Amino acid sequence: MSLGLKAYRTFRTALKALRRNPLRAILTTLGIVIGVAAVIAMMEIGAGSSAAIQKSISSMGANVLSVRPGAASSGGVTFGSGSTTTLTPEDCEAILRECPAVRAAVPLVHTRAQVVYGSRNWVPTFIYGSTPAYLDVQNWTVTEGAPFTDRDVANANKVCILGQTLVRELFQGESSIDKEIRIRNVSFRVVGVLRSKGANMMGMDQDDIIVAPWTTIKYRVTGEALADTNQSTSSSSGSTVNTLSNLYPGGQSDLYPDRSDVQAADNPMPVRFANIDHILAAARSTKEIPAAIDQMTLVLRERHRIRAGEADDFSIRDMTQMTTALSSTTTMMTNLLLSVAMISLVVGGVGIMNIMLVSVTERTREIGLRMAVGARGKDILQQFMVEAVVLCLVGGALGILLGHGGSQLVRLLLHWPVETSPVAIAAAVLVSASVGMIFGFYPAWKASRLDPIEALRYE
C-alpha cells in the first residue's frame, strides 16, 4: 500500500472514530480551542498595543540625538560638557544635508532669564532658540496660533511660542496670542502656544518653555555672538565663576590652525561666526540611531578638521534610557504572552490526555477487535495518536478563527490597536499539533499495549 493511501486511511479512520462521539470530541478539543484562541487574540492585541507603545515612546523623543560641544579645560580644570563653542548652525545644515539616517536637525541655543508680562514675571526652565523644525524633532505641535517661520529666524524677529506652564503663570487664563512679553527687556510677540507635554523622564516640566528663533535669542537676548567667547568664562549672568581661565593659559588647541597673512588675504574668514549650544537631530527610526550617530560623527569631524587619532570636540548622545525602556517593554510583553500561551495550551493538552484515556478505556473492546482482525500494536498507537493530533489541529484551526475574530471584535468595539500576526498563527498550528502528539502519546501507547484477549473480554 502506498504511504499516501495508508496515511489517508489512518486519517479517515481517526475522523470516523471522532465522528462516532461528536459531543465528546468537541468538549475534548474545547481546551485547545480556548487556548489557541486566547493565544491568537492576545498576540494580536498585544502586538497592536506593543506597536502603539513603541510609537508613543518614540514620540517622546526616543529617536532624538543630541550633539553637544566638548568640554573646555583650562589648567587642569574641566568646565563640563558644552563649555567650548565649536558647534555652528552650518554644522547643523551639513548634518541635515549629508546624513541620510537623519530626518531633521535643528540648532539650539538656550539661556535662562526672567520673563515679564504686565505685572507678572516668571523664570522658565527652558528658553530655547531654534528653528521651526524644532517642533518636528520633538514631536510637538502648536495648539493655538502658529509656530514662527524660517523667515523669522533669518530676520531675528522678536516672536516666540510658549509652553502651557508659562501661559498659566503669566496670562492666568487670558489668551496669550499676539501679546507682548519681555525677556531681559527684549520684547517678544507671542505667536503660538505649545501642546501640553507634562514632565519628561527626569521629572522636569517640559511645558515650562519658551521657543523663539535662535538668532533672536542669540543676538538680541544673550548678545554673545563672538566666536571666541568662551561660554564658561563670560556667562550671561556676568558672574565670575571661571575667572581662573584668565589667570592660566587655556589648555585647548585653537579651533582653527594659524594662517599666514597670504592665506588670510586669499581666503578671508569671517571673524564672527555664530556658535550654538547644541544640535538636536532626529533619526529616521529607532533602528537607524547607530547609523545616524556614525554619519554625524563623520560629518562633524570633517567640518571641525579633526585629524585621525584626535579626540572629538563634540559628543553625541542618544536617549538610551528611552530606547532601553522601549525594547524592554516589547520583550516583557512578548514573554508575558508566551507564558500565558504555554499555560493555556498545557491545560488544553491535559484535557486531551484525560479524555483520550477515558476513550481508550471505553473502546477497549474495539481495540481488542482491531487486534484480533490483524492490527499490530503500532497500528493502534498510530490510530490514537492521529486521533489526538487531528483533534488538536481542528481545535487549533477553530481557535485561530475564534481568536482572530475576537481580536477583530475588540478592534471594532473597543478601538484597541490590533495587529494580525502570521507568526502567531503558524506557531499556534505547530504548537497544537505538538500538544496532540505529546499528550496523545501516553493514552495511545497504553492502548497499543493492551492484550487482545483481555480487551475482547472487557465489559
Give Dmax (Cα) for the chain.
Answer: 117
Cβ atoms of 252 and 230 within 8 Å: the answer is no
Cβ neighbours, 10 Å, residue 211: 28
Does residue 379 interact with another protein by CB under 8 A? yes
Q: Are 237 and 69 in contact (CB under 8 A)?
A: no
Min dist CB 395 to another protein, Å, is: 22
Least distance from another protein to the Cβ atom of residue 451, Å: 8
N-to-C CA span, the chain:
35
Residue written as grid cell 534610557? 321
Q: Which residues of 33-71 are buried (b: 16+ CB within 10 A; e: fewer)?
A: bbbbbbbbbbbbbbbbbbeebbeebbebbbbbbbbbbbb
Q: Is 358 in the site for another protein (CB under 8 A)?
A: no
Verify binding: residue 9, another protein, rule CB under 8 A. yes
β-bridge pairing 278-283 and 209-213: unpaired
Nearest Cα to Cα of residue 236 among 218, 250, 255, 253: 218
Q: How far is the CB of 365 from another protein (least distance, A)?
A: 6
Using the rule CB under 8 A, is 26 a contact of another protein?
A: no
Give me the 394-433 binding string for another protein, x by CB under 8 A, dash otherwise.
----------------------------------------
Q: Give the three cell numbers for residue 4.
A: 499516501
Comparing CB distances to another protein, the nearer of 75 and 377 is 377
Give 13 or 139: the residue with its C-beta nearer to another protein. Answer: 13
17/162 Cα distance (integer angstroms): 75
How many residues would you count in the chain?
A: 459
Question: Minimum Å distance from CB 419 to another protein?
Answer: 44
Question: Does 374 interact with another protein (rule: CB under 8 A)?
Answer: yes
Q: How far is CA 356 from the centre of its chain?
A: 46
User: Per rule CB under 8 A, is residue 13 in the interface with another protein?
Assistant: yes
7 part of the interface to another protein, by CB under 8 A: no
Residue (73 or 364) nearer to another protein, CB: 364
Check if the beta carbon of residue 105 is closer than 8 Å to that of residue 87: no
Pick the stretch among 16-24, 74-82, 130-138, 151-159 that binds another protein (CB under 8 A). 16-24
Q: Tell which one of 311, 373, 414, 423 touches another protein (CB under 8 A).
A: 373
- Identity of residue 387: E
- The correct pick among 186, 346, 369, 401 for binding another protein (CB under 8 A) is 369
CA atoms of 138 and 64, how far apart (whole Å): 8
Is 305 a residue that touches another protein (CB under 8 A)?
no
Contact between residue 140 and residue 187 where contact means Cβ atoms under 8 Å apart: no
Cell 484551526, residue located: 397
Q: In this chain, which stretch among 28-36, 178-186, 206-214, 451-459 interacts with another protein, using CB under 8 A? A: 451-459
What is the pattern of x (binds another protein, CB under 8 A) and - over residues 313-352?
----------------------------------------
In the complex with another protein, the residue whose CB is nearer, 27 or 343, is 27
CB 42 → another protein: shortest distance, Å? 38
Q: Which of the residues 228 through 257 are near another protein (CB under 8 A)?
A: none
The answer to whether 456 touches 372, Cβ cutoff 8 Å, is yes
- Binding residues vs another protein (CB under 8 A): 1, 5, 9, 13, 16, 19-21, 365-366, 368-379, 452-453, 456
